[in-house]
Structures are given as C-alpha cells and as structure tokens.
C-alpha cells in the first residue's frame, strides 16, 4: 500500500535521533544511514530509530523515561532476537518505511520498593520486575493481587511480574507464558518454585495491582530487579502499570509479530 502524500510530507518534517548498539554490524549500518540523513540528539527528536537488538531498544526506551520525553521508537534488527525490531535491509530508506508503519502502545510497570531499613525506591520496568533470593536460602514471598493475598507463602528462587514486552525474555525462560503486545495482560511467574508445588503462575489483567512481601527477611534476604535497576534487602514491592508513561513502538506493515509470538511457543 502506497503512503499518502500527507503521510510522506509529515514524515519528511520529523527530526530523527539514531541510537546504535556497540555491535560492529550496527556501527556499519549506522555509518550508512548517517550518509543520507541528518540526525539530531535524542532530546531534540520527534522520533528515534534504534539499530541493534531488543536490549538496545530497551536502553533507548529507558533513556526516554528518564528524560520524561516519550517519542515513537522504530527498531531495525541488527541483534540476536529482535522481537521488538523490524527487519534491516541494505540501502534502506528510513523515511519511506516510516510513512507506512503501524503504531503499538506499550506501558511499563512502576515498582515502589521498600527495604528492610525503610528506604523507598521507585523505578520503571519495561520488561519485568523480578524478586530473587540473595543467598543459598530459599526465598519465601507472600503474593497479593488487588489487596488480597493470593499466595500466602511462595518458596523458591523468587517470582517475577512481566509485561507483554518482556514476556519473551526472562519470563519465558522461567516457563512463563508469551503474551501478545496488545493483550492487556501481565504474566505472574514463579522462579524455580518449591512450594506450592503445582502453582505455575497466573495471567492477570494489566489493571491489577500486585504486592510482594518478603517473609523471614533476616534469614532469607531478597533483592528486587526492575529491568536493570536492583534494590537489595527488600521488605515489600508494589507494582502496577504506569499508564502515564505510555510509549509507542513502530512496526512495518508486513512485520508478522503475531506469527512470531505463536512460533516462539513451538520452538524446540
């Protein structure tokens, strides 16, 4: 489908930033893109083009959250998985591709963490928030959903809450479900659980409020990790979707994201 003249002219006026991974392939592609396009710093851009893999996209999105300036992000895959990225082609004409993109809205989790010393920390997680045992001792964690205790005592290595964006990452490695990006769901997944033995986790509406409370913290200390930010010696963690931090991912019309979600679940 051809882009309309109005769409093309709108794209031509956009100031674009370029975020590039340190991989040699991404650096080479960036050099090519810089030859035919003028790029601006991220703080001056209307849209960001990300060259690399999902990790590079994650860092770019966090940079926008930290700056409180959320602009659309269009990823070109020069990494390993590239679940959130589009296919890279040599001699790519970025503005022509952008005139045809589909928009997908995603929002991060907001983590409010309290330590045993009473310190308060607030971080955002685009992928997941995970609670992990700090020592050889099994962690024991109480899990609440919407102010109601659902698991009085989970014993294991820990537990995580994942967004659809992060459902193919750590969550999937911990045997959690893959969630379509537009599913409006969250994956609550235990990490190497010992008890309850048969509990495999839960899929929750993304309007849910989830609370983790650490039991026996002196004997069984637990850390909380929101993407790349860690807080140790946790007493309690409160989680909910931060709708005020909604971000936009851009995908090519032929980007078969639904097919990739299905295929991942049958991969050997």
What's the CATH code of the domain at 233? 2.60.200.30
The answer on whether 256 is annotated among ligand-binding residues is: no
Q: Do residue 149 and residue 238 come from a single domain?
A: yes
Nearest to 163 by CA among 109, 123, 231: 109
d(CA 201, CA 46): 39
The answer on whether 242 is annotated among ligand-binding residues is: no
- Which residue among 54, 182, 227, 252 is the active-site one? 54
d(CA 230, CA 221): 13
What's the CATH code of the domain at 25? 3.40.50.10330
The answer on whether 165 is annotated among ligand-binding residues is: yes
Q: Do residue 113 and residue 230 come from a single domain?
A: yes
What's the whole-model pTM score?
0.89
DSSP 33: H
- The three-state secondary structure class of 24 is helix
For the beta carbon of residue 153, count every other beta carbon within 10 angstroms. 13
Q: Do residue 96 and residue 149 come from a single domain?
A: no
The answer on whether 171 is annotated among ligand-binding residues is: yes
The pLDDT value given to residue 1? 36
Q: Do residue 94 and residue 139 come from a single domain?
A: no
Walk along the chain (268 residues) and give the pLDDT tens digit of each residue.
344 444 455 788 899 999 999 999 999 999 999 987 899 999 999 999 999 999 999 999 999 999 999 999 999 999 877 888 999 988 888 999 999 999 999 999 999 999 999 999 999 999 999 999 999 999 999 999 999 999 999 999 999 999 999 998 999 999 999 998 889 999 999 999 999 988 999 999 999 999 999 999 999 999 999 999 999 999 999 999 999 999 999 999 866 566 666 666 676 5
Q: Do residue 28 and residue 131 come from a single domain?
A: no
Strands (E), 31-184: 47-52, 73-77, 86-87, 102-106, 109-115, 120-125, 128-133, 139-145, 148-162
The pLDDT value given to residue 249? 94
The answer on whether 127 is annotated among ligand-binding residues is: yes
The pLDDT value given to residue 8? 52
Clarify whether 182 is annotated catalytic: no
The pLDDT value given to residue 224? 98
**Domain, as residue range, for 38:** 5-106+246-264
Q: Do residue 160 and residue 231 come from a single domain?
A: yes
The pLDDT value given to residue 253? 85
The pLDDT value given to residue 2? 41
The answer on whether 172 is annotated among ligand-binding residues is: yes
Q: How many domains does the chain have?
A: 2
Q: Do residue 133 and residue 121 come from a single domain?
A: yes
Q: Do residue 250 and residue 168 come from a single domain?
A: no
The pLDDT value given to residue 11? 80
Q: Do residue 21 and residue 52 come from a single domain?
A: yes
Q: Do residue 135 and residue 211 come from a single domain?
A: yes
The answer on whether 59 is annotated among ligand-binding residues is: yes
Could you tell me if 234 and 57 are in contact, meaning their C-beta atoms sit under 8 angstroms apart?
Answer: no
């Amino acid at each position: 489908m051809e882009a309309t003249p109005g769409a093309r002219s709108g794209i031509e006026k956009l100031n674009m930033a370029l975020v590039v991974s340190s991989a040699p392939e991404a650096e080479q592609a960036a050099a090519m893109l810089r030859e035919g396009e003028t790029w601006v710093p991220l703080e001056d851009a209307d849209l960001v083009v990300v060259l690399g893999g999902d990790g590079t996209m994650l860092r770019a999105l966090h940079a926008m959250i930290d700056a409180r300036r959320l602009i659309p992000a269009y990823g070109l895959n020069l990494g390993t998985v590239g679940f959130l990225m589009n296919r890279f082609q040599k001699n790519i004409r970025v503005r022509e591709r952008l005139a045809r993109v589909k928009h997908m809205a995603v929002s991060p989790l907001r983590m409010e963490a309290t330590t045993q010393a009473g310190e308060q920390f607030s971080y955002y997680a685009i992928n997941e928030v995970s609670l992990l045992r700090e020592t050889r001792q099994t962690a024991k964690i109480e899990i609440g959903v919407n102010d109601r205790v659902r698991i009085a005592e989970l014993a294991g290595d820990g537990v995580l809450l994942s967004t659809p964006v992060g459902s193919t990452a750590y969550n999937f490695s911990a045997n959690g479900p893959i969630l379509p990006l537009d599913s409006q769901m969250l994956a609550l997944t235990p990490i190497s659980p010992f008890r309850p033995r048969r509990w495999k986790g839960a899929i929750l509406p993304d309007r849910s409020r989830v609370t983790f409370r650490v039991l026996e913290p002196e004997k069984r200390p637990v850390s909380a990790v929101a993407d790349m930010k860690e807080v140790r010696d946790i007493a309690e963690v409160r989680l909910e979707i931060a709708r005020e931090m909604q971000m936009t991912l851009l995908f090519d019309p032929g980007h078969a994201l639904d097919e990739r979600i299905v295929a991942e679940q049958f991969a050997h």
